[in-house]
Structure 1
């Protein structure tokens, strides 16, 4: 990676000029084209290379992202070795993320990786440690960090006299039938089932908004495969070091998408509701106001790519860090361990997941 992609240079007229970030897209599926398209639209970035193992996907995504035939690859390492890149977008199945991030680290590249960061807690620990020694940015693609509702909730719970004590949350969608036969229901690629897919976002928004430190997880699951590795439904209970609990219900068998989160303390609650992937509605409840429903910006919010590029240019911490990713992986892995056992609580080391 060259420094020119992340630093400003002096143009001939003496003004400051930012070099274009050269991005390689890893995976030509939904994330690769949707988030890759955000790079195409960004004035300080350009998609210059693409890799996918499926040549038909490669051709279609390459055309959509405007990548030349010569810069389309079926081998990830070949793309890294051949192309002059500053960053990669990783939009591949979950279990591939760790090795692909390491390969990008070896090339000193910035990395925007779709969720989850990894499907293995030791791998997540390793990435957090390595990332702390790097100057480049590693960001996880948890987009709810840009939704005003969750930002308001995070700001509320950051107040000295407010701390959530009781959390309930649920998410549901038409997932089981929709993704039958795809990699999302192949645990060797997905890491699990619905909890590791859409459920990852729900766990993240709770952990990120509250800043609480999880210490133990209990879960029950309904599996859709004979090996009992792919959950279609799950109920997860998280205990936190401050004595708070979160009760989380997830179903991939409903005819529509709904997401509901309630975070209570002794003074009241924050509630966030969403349907059909729209940004969440925000309601604040307390003794004086009863219900307060502020108007939220529905579309005027930062995108993943805007936040990623800004972090590179400013040197500020990215919106969703490697530690955020580790915290989600720790809770997720503990939930699967509990559900595949007798449902007893599985401990999490607080030192692993405590925010600095």
Structure 2
């Protein structure tokens, strides 16, 4: 660390999310500064480092991690590159904030989990940013309080304006519904035991080879049913909603009624157009929380087990989607390090 104690961070991957994290740490986050950026494209790395005093551009993650002015790593590279970067960081005992997915599949996530266990202590936080969203945090606190009794069902809606070219059925699960998989586990404190995926008739606005929307159903090991409407070509905005149905009441978030206007014989508000806009505060809070915990020598937030469990549920979801049947989730026994 620097003499002032600021956490010196290397950001790996400078695409949309990585560049946003570089900006966030440089302009918003307190107690940290970007001292290294890494990208396979050297020009993009140089562009990301430009204007930040003392920031060095690299093309290899290992070179950045070995630098004397790097205390911690934020991984925002494409998912297939995560395992190698995570294992390298663990080998050097560096704290990590890794954007989801931890890795693209359960087998590679398990290898990361085993490497962290060998290290003997937690070093990795996974970037499931919805846990840092104000509305989700309020819902979590309410459910934990027991005020509404036991949760019985959880309804989720996840809508995007339009899907990018090349978006596939499997990506509906791995890139989108994975967020509901994590918040379901987190809100309920239960593991997802089985998944089923149903398909209504597709929207005319979806690509010809994409079955959109779809409807996923989770069964938890505590007996709760959770459903997810995933609709990535809704056309009107980015919308994330959740409603918990409990024994003595319900609680709903995501209606977006923070500001309602009345004008010209109409009333209403606005709808965010993408996830960066909708969850900007959550991303800010997540990174600040990681920095604060790391400077204290602690690891908080979603861990490697959460990343592994999400990967395992995704695999069950993709099988359920392709085979058209209920599919059980296969998990190893949860290690003591993550209990």
Deviation at 1:109, TM superposition (A): 1.0
Give the corresponding residue for 2:326.
Answer: 344
Indicate yes or no: 2:135 matched with 1:149: yes
- Contact (CA 8 Å) 2:122, 2:299: kept in 1 or not? no
Give the corresponding residue for 2:178.
Answer: 200
- Contact (CA 8 Å) 1:114, 1:142: kept in 2 or not? yes
Give the corresponding residue for 1:94.
Answer: 79
Deviation larger for 26-35 or 299-308: 299-308
Change (3 A) 1:198 1:186: closer
Give the corresponding residue for 2:290.
Answer: 308
1:210 to 162, 176, 188: 188
Indicate yes or no: 2:211 matched with 1:241: no
- Give structure 1 stretches of 5+ with no counterpart: 6-16, 281-297
- Contact (CA 8 Å) 1:28, 1:52: kept in 2 or not? yes
- Contact (CA 8 Å) 2:195, 2:317: kept in 1 or not? yes
TM-score (normalizing by structure 2): 0.80
Change (3 A) 1:147 1:347: closer
Deviation at 1:43, TM superposition (A): 3.8
2-structure distance, mates of 1:135, 1:84:
23
Deviation at 1:186, TM superposition (A): 8.4
TM-score (normalizing by structure 1): 0.76
Equivalent positions of 1:1-356 (< 5 A) are 19-41=5-27, 42-63=29-50, 65-66=52-53, 68=55, 71-82=56-67, 84-132=69-117, 133-135=119-121, 137-159=123-145, 162-176=149-163, 179-180=164-165, 185=167, 192-220=170-198, 233-255=213-235, 256-273=237-254, 274=256, 275-276=271-272, 277=275, 303-349=285-331, 351-352=333-334, 356=339
Aligned residue for 1:339, secondary structure, equals: helix
Q: Provide, for residues 99-137 of structure 1, a one-character-per-residue CA deviation record: whole Å limited to 9, x for no partner.
A: 211111112211111112122112223333433444463
RMSD: 3.1
2-structure distance, mates of 1:299, 1:258:
16
2-structure distance, mates of 1:300, 1:53:
28
Change (3 A) 1:238 1:171: same
2-structure distance, mates of 1:104, 1:174:
36
1-structure distance, mates of 2:286, 2:218:
28
How many residue pairs get matched? Answer: 311
Q: Provide, for residues 70-94 of structure 1, a one-character-per-residue CA deviation record: whole Å limited to 9, x for no partner.
A: x212222333345542111111112
Change (3 A) 1:38 1:231: farther
Give the corresponding residue for 1:293.
Answer: none
Deviation larger for 38-47 or 107-116: 38-47
2-structure distance, mates of 1:210, 1:131:
26
Q: Provide, for residues 14-34 of structure 1, a one-character-per-residue CA deviation record: whole Å limited to 9, x for no partner.
A: xxx752222111111122121
1-structure distance, mates of 2:98, 2:184:
20
1-structure distance, mates of 2:123, 2:186:
19
Deviation at 1:336, TM superposition (A): 0.4
2-structure distance, mates of 1:87, 1:67:
16
2-structure distance, mates of 1:123, 1:111:
17
- Contact (CA 8 Å) 1:39, 1:47: kept in 2 or not? yes
- Contact (CA 8 Å) 1:203, 1:328: kept in 2 or not? yes
